[in-house]
Chain A
Amino acid sequence: MINLSQTVKEGAAVVAEIERRSGQRITACLQCGRCTSTCVAAFAFDYPPHRLMHLLQIGLVEEVLRSETAQLCLDCMTCSMRCPVKIDVAGVIETAKAIADEAGLRDTEPNLRLFRRGFLNNVCRHGRLHETTLLLWFNLRTGKLTNDLSLAPLLLRKKKVRIFPPRIKNLRQVRRLFQQVNGSAGPPR
């Protein structure tokens, strides 16, 4: 059983923070479910968008911050376009994800986090993305060497594989951008 008088009180600060950063009013949600109805990704979520909104309404913030939904949302914004009370639902989910990241809640969907990190490291290394090395790196790290292997013959046959990585001239400048965010030189971890 959920002790509402407790959760509402305890969750209030985080909910207020989400409202402030996203500029959205969680209380405005009337739970019509249209966000979920339009969501292409909800089948993969633990909480469909409308439930996530309701969890926030009743202060169950930990569930939200640790949710797969916050990590897996594709940010396609279809829900935000359709919401009958004009809540930017995708913005709320994105904000929850950012707060979870800051709070160090990193157990949910680690592979996705790994992919994003690999992608950015790849860009930091070359200035541009080298798809081939990203694929190889990711598969090595996750131990799933056959991931997308089925595409290999096709990619090779259709000359879609670029063997050598690109490299831009002023890589130093790009790395300074990374440094700005990460505080350290070189590819962040």
Chain B
Amino acid sequence: MIGVFVCQCGTNIAATVSTDRVVQAAKSMLGVVHAESIQYTCSDPGQRAIIDAIQQKGLTRVVMAGCSPRMHEITFRRAIGRAGMNPFMLEMVNIREQCSWIHSGIDETTEKAIDLVRKGVARVRRQKPLQPGSSPVARRALVIGAGVAGIQAALDIADAGIPVTLVEKSPTIGGNMARLDKTFPTLDCSSCILTPRMVEVKQHENIKLMVNSEVEKVRGYIGNFEIDIRKKASCVIEEKCTGCLICQEKCPSKAPDDFNACAGESKAISIPFPQAVPLVASLRKEYCRLFISGKCSVCQKVCPADAIDYGQEDTVVTEKFGAVVVATGFGLYDWKQSYPTYGMGMYPDVINALKYERLLSASGPTGGHIERPSDGKEPRDIVFISCIGSRDESVGRPQCCSIGCMYMAKQAILTKEHIPDSQSYIFYIDVRAAGKGYDEFARRAQTDFGAIYIRGRVGKIYPRGGKLVVMGTDTLAGDQVEIEADLVVLATGLTPAEGAGGLARRLNISTDGQGFMAEGHPKLKPVETNTGGVFLAGACQGPKDIPASVAQAGAAAAKVIGLLSREEIETSPMVAEVNQLKCTGCFKCRDVCPYGAIENQDAMGGQVAHVIASLCQGCGLCNVACPPGVISLKGYTDNQLIAEVVEVLR
């Protein structure tokens, strides 16, 4: 007793698929007793019509021809459940995303839709009723990355009384925001607003902070993740270090100053900045004299707290989490190779905006005096160039960095405040200042701080007598322009943070074309991912500014709190099942299972495979690996799949 419901989806489907013809064709398919076309099946009247048909015609199986199951499978399972059917006696046939949207001719598209429906009917005919299971929820959240987004998410979750582990791969929390001098559009001091939040993290009873740590392995599923976290050896015993900085002062090994975007120099053992949390030194072995040449132990000798342990080794902790928030932030586009005409990094006075931010910052290497890298002189003429590695298909990066226009305006304002007789020039394509108070702010850079905005893109930078000639175009004047600059600041685009791709693979979440993590739906699931229980916050999902990152972090936290407030969650009944009568006990299935859901069981007079239903995620790997073919996936049996293929080839 199969019912077929063909959704018109307004004109989304009906414009290229004749739903009437699909209904006609469906009526003649084996087992179909009812078929109808409905304008919007997901609407309230649409669902009502389906329920009525089920009850009046006594339907036992339903085929929904409409959108992708990702969109509405849950909706229709609930609907037929309300009609008294087993919710799993449903087959979603996608005639929208994979049919009406991508083809044009009505006849061909309708043909294809009919083929797809026939396939669905064949499959649902072989469907058996299934009962969902349930599994307990681990009441602890993992937040990966402790920039402003991760901090916000961790605090929000912890404030709701849920324990949080906050993992950060660098020696301190704070992320990129900790490196900023002032923030747009209010010019409040970045560390003044961030530092209190960082301290809160440190002091919060529900937050366990792990710096120098990275997520190494992820097992399990929503509500029940089991995650290995590697804490890298820093040669410093965290509990003992008092942050006195004596080791850093005495250390003879120089090292790049990553925190200051290499604007200054640091030491092999160091604390990145004075407000670091935790205020604990870390040693970078790759720059340490002891680890390079075997001779040195100055820091150990001078440490008054006896906190140095050169023999320290990485440790791996394994914890259970009910939910994960990814907040790995962003990195900066490395422009040097792709912009040969800007000097490829050969001119020390062509720098990226983050380095300039450190030169502006009172806590930076120059104490807030703007000194250009080549000779330490105070620059007079400063050129800002927008869209480096953004909106530029010639380097494979078409997207807008979304913050460049604003931070260039901010830096031009700060430059004028630092050096009143300076002149800033900003090369732009469009000034994108769409946030609250943003346009007013960007305008002030021009009106109150004298920045000259030049609409055009720079072609070339080359040296002339200690200055840099910036060759550009003023498209509004319609002519080429050149500026003799003392300093050139590049607004480089945002990339995913280093290592984000690997983490995404470990978490089994997808990434977009630029490597940013993909949200579940661009509008309706902005913080979810395609993996249940894994949420996104901040710039790991795409370039964004501080307010947007914080807002998204709050949203992710709310999702986590909602999930972890439940005792248990329903699990899918579409799990693997072993026909133990025929199992040969080779355990190939056990070896391929990514979830550890298959165990040995003494049965049938020997060792055979057994599926732990609560762990199985229904991925189907065992199904394929099984040599005698005796494992099947409920709802996806070989029988059903073969029937589909046969029908579609007919």
Contact = CB atoms under 8 A, between A and B. Distances in A.
A binds B: yes
Interface of A: 30-34, 36-39, 42-43, 48, 50-51, 81-86
A48 B459 contact: no
Contacts of B459: 34, 36-39, 82
B473 A86 contact: no
B549 to A, nearest CB: 27
- The 5 A-B residue pairs with the shortest CB-CB distance, nearest first, are A37-B459, A33-B473, A38-B459, A33-B456, A34-B457
A43 B482 CA distance: 12
Contacts of A83: 394
B471 A37 contact: yes
Interface of B: 341, 387, 391-394, 429, 455-460, 471-475, 478-480
A32 B429 contact: yes
Contacts of A82: 341, 394, 459
A32 B475 contact: yes
5 contacts: A30-B391, A36-B473, A39-B480, A48-B479, A82-B341
Given A36-B456, A37-B456, A48 B393 contact: no
Given A42-B480, A48-B478, A37 B473 contact: yes
A27 B456 CA distance: 18
Contacts of A84: 387, 391-394, 457
Given A38-B460, A84-B457, A50 B393 contact: no
B478 A37 contact: no
A34 B392 CA distance: 11
A48 B474 CA distance: 11
Contacts of B478: 48, 51
Contacts of B457: 32-34, 37, 84
A67 to B, nearest CB: 13
A32 B480 contact: no
A43 B478 CA distance: 11
B473 A48 contact: yes
Contacts of B473: 33-34, 36-37, 48, 50
Contacts of A38: 341, 459-460, 471
A49 B50 CA distance: 62
Nearest to A36: B473
Nearest to A81: B394
A45 B636 CA distance: 68
Given A30-B429, A32-B457, A37 B472 contact: yes
Given A37-B480, A42-B480, A48-B480, A32 B394 contact: no
Given A37-B457, A81-B394, 5 more contacts: A32-B475, A33-B472, A34-B458, A84-B457, A86-B394
B455 A33 contact: yes
Of B341, B456, B457, B471, which is in contact with the most chain A CB atoms at under 10 Å from its CB?
A: B457
Contacts of A36: 456, 459, 473, 475, 479-480
A27 B429 CA distance: 16
B375 to A, nearest CB: 27
A106 to B, nearest CB: 26
A187 B47 CA distance: 82
Contacts of B472: 33, 37
A48 B392 CA distance: 21
Contacts of A51: 475, 478
Nearest to B456: A33
Question: Which one of B456, B472, B475 has the highest number of Cβ atoms from chain A below 10 Å of its Cβ?
Answer: B475
